[in-house]
Amino acid sequence: KIWYNSELVNWSDVKLHVLSHGLHYASCVFEGERVYDGEIFKLEEHTSRFFHSAKRMGFEIPYSEDQINKASKLIISKQNVENGYVRPVAWRGSEMMAISAQKTKIHVAIATWEWGSYFDPKLKVEGIKLNISKWKRPAPDTIPWDTKASGLYMICTLSKHEAERDGYTDSLMLDHEGNIAEATGANIFFKDKDGTLHTPIPDSFLDGITRRTVIDIAKSKNIKVIERKISPEELKDFSGCFLTGTAAEVTPVSKIADYEFKVCSTIIELSESYQLIVRKKKAA
């Protein structure tokens, strides 16, 4: 089943009109959420961002946040998902076929499925390898950069396909100024020789919910975290690197282009602490 405009519809019967504005002009927003032991981690925060994204894109989701939260819980129950992924998505319909879309209907769907590790579990131990993408995060005055909107991910797909073609797992993306931004679907952290963590300021890309959670974990362990502009030339100065994201969770990085990093105890401990938080029922 998929929750589709307040109804439970068979997975194979869900239909999207080929002239939907969201398909042609990317007037579409979504979320990515993890289910751990039958519960959606930080559901309310994700739903709040879902509504923020829609508002920034100029349309209103025709349900309340509470209704979306309840629908999300309903669909994982109906699908019997214990450890998986949830994808709420909202888009403009087919009533107007042009750039203007004021009279289009807003559709909402929520799908969920069982899903394990985003990256190969072996790579989450050894560390993944990134290339450096030729595509850059656009300037913040050119796009609604603080949204999870479909159009923003076009260059992510291009970057990840290029990385995988060349034998890498993912791609590091720079911002419009040439500073380090993030991976294609995850935020990035670096550890220096003194144990301090450095992470880019999210001023042209999403300030991830997992990113904020990991920063809180690090501070609880008295690990200093500095949010700042980071130049690619500084990669040689860091000893450790890892990604954070709903899908990626906490994933160590062993190499970026020609720069190598160690999967150190700090990264392993942050990953273990994150798992304890998301699996509260199991930990209790």
Provide the annotated active-site residues.
148
Q: Alpha-carbon distance 28 to 43, whole Å?
A: 20
Name the residue among 34, 74, 36 with its Cα closest to residue 280: 36
The pairing of beta strand 249-256 with beta strand 128-136: parallel
Distances (CA, A) of 252 to 14, 120, 121, 164, 271: 37, 12, 11, 17, 9
Question: Identity (one letter) of the amino acid at 81?
Answer: V
Other CB atoms closer than 10 Å to residue 283's CB: what's the count? Answer: 10
Angle between helices 265-278 and 209-220 (to 10 degrees): 110
Name the residue among 173, 180, 171, 177 with its Cα closest to residue 139: 177
- Beta bridge pairs of residue 30: 89
- Beta bridge pairs of residue 114: 84
